[in-house]
Amino acid sequence: MRSTEATVYIDYNDDDERYLPEGPRMIDIGGRPALVWVNIQYDATADVGDVNIHFPDTDGGDDAGIGCPGRPGFLLPIDEDDRALVGVDNDLLILDLAEGLWSEPLASIPDRDPRTIINDAEVVPGGGAVVFGTKDTQFKDAIAHLYLYTPADNRVTVLADKQLCSNGKVFATDARGVILYDIDTPTRKVARYRLDVAARTLTPDGIALDLSNEPGFPDGMCDCGDGTVIVAFYNPEPVAAGRAVRYDLATGAAVEEWLTPGSPRVTCPLLVKRPNGVKLFLTTATEGMPPAQRAKCPNAGCIFVADTTLKDCPAPEVVRFPETE
């Protein structure tokens, strides 16, 4: 299996920004492509985080951070310039990335347990719906859920319960309809479901990947567009490097891996087609890292980039809101 060492792409002097970066996306802001991600919270006790913006076409002078009215779990591009749908604590909001302005909540989850907050999400093919999950912030009990959100009516529906930390999601379609591949991190499995958006239902359809023998916990996941997915592994053990692994969904075989030296807690992958090939960006975190381990992990919380063997990658789906008069 090919193994590639990723290199540090973005470093931070401020440990607050290294705590829990997740959910990287490429979004056009002011007509310029930008790498955008959420930092869920600044430290273990913080009740706020931020959205970070990096423009690859500059030396970093235009980079920015936008404070959030809570802890952001995901950020998804929408089909209007400069804007993104963001899940913050229990609410869904729109963020104008150019102006740094937040909308009022569009919708809220029907769960006000103080331990559950919105986490990872993905756009359903076509853009007319979003599936997102929540997590138990104490990582103890199966009190989280999977939800369906439809922008046409700002409606949120529970699709599945009894999750603990809902993370990476990838969609596919076949003759039978829409397939959701979903990670509930503590299970160390990628579950397969059948999603019926019109009926607002989710039907279990077996296990696509059993990752219980891999070191670390599966966290974020992205689609490679060829029947394979890349899974980021959050490893709490005192190891020298983190990993992200590409798997064949049909066979379960690992076909390619990337290592993040000095940063074992890899949170999310993102594939981006650049002029010099398809690149893999990886967010990593310092969350929960004891001081002694942190001292041995100088790159923890950095953003990494690496080459891949992929010739292409899927165009990102965008959330589509109905047109208004």
For β-strands 241-248 and 254-261, DSSP reports them as: antiparallel
Q: What is the pLDDT of residues 251-300, one digit of tens each?
A: 999 999 999 999 999 999 999 999 889 999 999 999 999 999 999 999 99
Band of residue 59 on the pLDDT scale cut at 50, 70, 90: confident
Helix (H) or strand (E) holding 294: helix 291-295
Contacts of 274 (CB under 8 A, 6+ apart): none
Write down the pLDDT at residue 247.
98
Reported CATH class of domain 2-307 = mainly beta
Report, as an integer, the average pLDDT of 102-128.
96
Q: Say which residue the tokens 């059993």 belong to.
A: 210
Contacts of 299 (CB under 8 A, 6+ apart): 8, 11, 260, 261, 262, 263, 284
- Ramachandran area for residue 144 (φ above 0: left; ψ -120 to 50: alpha; else beta): beta
Band of residue 325 on the pLDDT scale cut at 50, 70, 90: very low
Backbone angles phi, psi at 295, to 5 degrees: -65, -25
Q: Which of 18, 34, 21 is nearest to 74 (CA)?
A: 21
SS (H, E, C) 43-55: CCCCCCCEEEEEC
How far apart, in whole angstroms, are the C-alpha atoms of residue 255 and residue 245?
A: 8
Domain residue spans of the chain: 2-307
- Given a cut of 70, whether residue 74 has pLDDT beyond it is yes
- Given a cut of 90, whether residue 229 has pLDDT beyond it is yes
Write down the pLDDT at residue 266.
98
60 CB neighbour count, 10 Å cutoff: 9
How far apart, in whole angstroms, are the C-alpha atoms of residue 76 and residue 94?
A: 10
Q: What is the pLDDT of residues 160-211, one digit of tens each?
A: 999 999 999 999 999 999 999 999 999 999 999 999 999 999 999 999 999 9
Q: What is the pLDDT of residues 278-288, one digit of tens each?
A: 999 999 999 99
Sheet strand arrangement including 241-248: 2-5, 254-261, 241-248, 228-234, 217-223
Q: What token pair was written down for 207?
A: 């296990």
Q: pLDDT averaged over the chain?
A: 96
Report, as an integer, the average pLDDT of 98-125.
96
∠ at Cα 183 (179, 185), nearest 5°?
170
Q: Burial of 45 by CB count in 10 Å (0-12 exposed, 13-18 middle, 19+ buried)? A: exposed
- Check if the beta carbon of residue 97 is closer than 8 Å to that of residue 51: yes
- Check if the beta carbon of residue 97 is closer than 8 Å to that of residue 82: yes
- Given a cut of 80, whether residue 245 has pLDDT beyond it is yes
